[in-house]
Chains A and B, each alone.
Chain A
């Protein structure tokens, strides 16, 4: 199993440009999440999905959109990037059960200039 993978690993955007981050998991997990990590603030939840075709807002959703067309993929979109979106983005997945453990991807470092 590859676990949770993220594409790309690094990206530099200019203000106003758009991009999509791809998260893929091969564990058949129902739940998927997108977080951003900023210095001194831990990880904050952007959006999440409880199943194929569903999405919901997290703590910091403004400026982002998501889609979950397939169970294994969760896409995070930035329609018009802003410098405030410079961050490290982590995807995670989780399955209902006794373990309560989220599995994290390796992260995508995004810089908006």
Chain B
């Protein structure tokens, strides 16, 4: 079975500083991995996905993530935080068939002015 651990439940950054949200996964096969964002009282929006192509994946709104098999990690980064980035972020891994998702517990990103 696959699993995913988001290492920080809360991250606080100042506007204009870099963002790092950490995610480790466990899987017995080569997984597909995603990052979703959820703004307050909103649904989930796909930020980016890794599906065994390039290990550095670029997403929307300046976010990117790097798949590191040796470290079983898929950390999300952004060079410069914006106030509108304040939200909950979920790291997600698929099963081997790609039709089931397992969610991490989420990381709440706070951005200070």
26 contacts between A and B (CB under 8 A): A40-B9, A40-B105, A40-B106, A41-B105, A42-B103, A42-B104, A42-B105, A43-B44, A43-B101, A43-B103, A44-B103, A45-B101, A48-B100, A90-B43, A94-B99, A96-B99, A98-B51, A100-B49, A100-B51, A101-B34, A101-B46, A101-B49, A102-B101, A104-B36, A105-B43, A107-B43
B73 on the A face (CB < 8 A):
no
Chain B hits for A45, CB < 8 A: 100-101
Does the CB pair B44–A104 fall under 8 Å?
yes
Instruction: Give 1 or 0 for each of B39-79: 1 = CB within 8 Å of chain A CB.
Output: 00011101001010000000000000000000000000000
Residues 28 to 54 of chain A near chain B (Cβ within 8 Å): 31, 40-45, 48, 50
The binding surface of chain B is classed by DSSP as: loop
Taking beta carbons and an 8 Å cutoff, which residues of B are in contact with A? 9, 32, 34, 36, 42-44, 46, 49, 51, 90, 94, 98-101, 103-106
How many CB-defined contacts (below 8 Å) exist between A and B?
A: 44
Chain B hits for A8, CB < 8 A: none
A16 on the B face (CB < 8 A):
no
The binding surface of chain A is classed by DSSP as: loop
**Nearest opposing residue in chain A for B32, CB measure:** A100
Cα of A31 to Cα of B106 in the assembled complex, Å:
24
Chain B hits for A90, CB < 8 A: 43-44
Instruction: Give 1 or 0 for each of A99-113: 1 = CB within 8 Å of chain B CB.
Output: 111101111000000
Does the CB pair A104–B105 fall under 8 Å?
no
Does the CB pair A100–B94 fall under 8 Å?
yes
Cα of A105 to Cα of B105 in the assembled complex, Å:
19
Chain A hits for B100, CB < 8 A: 45, 48
CB distance from B45 to the nearest CB of A (A): 8
**Nearest opposing residue in chain B for A102, CB measure:** B101
**Nearest opposing residue in chain A for B51, CB measure:** A100
Does the CB pair B42–A106 fall under 8 Å?
yes
Chain B hits for A99, CB < 8 A: 49, 51
